[in-house]
Structure 1
Amino acid sequence: MSLFILFQRDDCHLCDQALALLAEAKFPDFDSVWIDDDESLEARYGARVPVLRRSDGAELDWPFDREAVRRFVP
């Protein structure tokens, strides 16, 4: 299990932008969770995706930039 989870949805251009930014920032490995078919995740993250969550529960909502991502890593 990874220290980070990226909550996203299928066919989401903002999610694609977040993935590109994470790659550019050489962000550590993370798990991806798609919220599309999960009512509870949809209710929590629907309007907020993409959201990066750390294992301690801290969340970073989009839009985030490279500096915010770097600060998010413990």
Structure 2
Amino acid sequence: MITCLLFSTEDCHLCELAEAELMPLLAQGLQVEVVDISESAELIERYGVRIPVLRLEAQDAELGWPFNSEQVAAWLNQQLGL
């Protein structure tokens, strides 16, 4: 099972679009933990103007917006060597 972090914040239209793009992949076993950057000054500094950002912690890899579900799947395959 693959788990990604999705850095976002409340009332972010682009973050809502990103979550919608991830829905088909959730049905295929992807797990996404949504991280609200507003709870951390460090995360605001790092991601404030870049959200939404999808991150694979183990691979230290990030995919910034814009992306669609096909691009996320291809990125995951590349990062995980599938």
Query: Contact conserved, 2:25 with 2:73, CA < 8 A, in 1?
Result: no
Deviation at 1:30, TM superposition (A): 1.3
List structure 1 runs of 4+ shifted beyond 3 angstroms: none
In structure 1, runs of 5+ residues without a counterpart are: none
For residues 67 and 3 of structure 1, what CA distance do their matches in structure 2 show?
17
CA offsets, 1:29-72, max 9 Å, x none?
11110001211000000000000001211000000122210112
For residues 47 and 64 of structure 2, what CA distance do their matches in structure 1 show?
10
In structure 2, runs of 5+ residues without a counterpart are: none
**Greater Rg over alpha carbons, structure:** 2
Q: CA RMSD in A?
A: 1.3
Partner SS state of residue 26, structure 1: helix
Partner SS state of residue 31, structure 2: coil
1:58 aligns with one of 55, 58, 61: 61
Which structure is higher in RCO with an 8 Å CA cutoff and minimum separation 6? 1
Aligned pairs, how many?
A: 72
Q: Which amino acid aligns with 2:51?
A: V
Give the percent of matched residue pairs that are identical in Structure 1 and Structure 2: 40
Question: What is the TM-score with the length of structure 2 in the denominator?
Answer: 0.80
Question: What is the TM-score with the length of structure 1 in the denominator?
Answer: 0.88
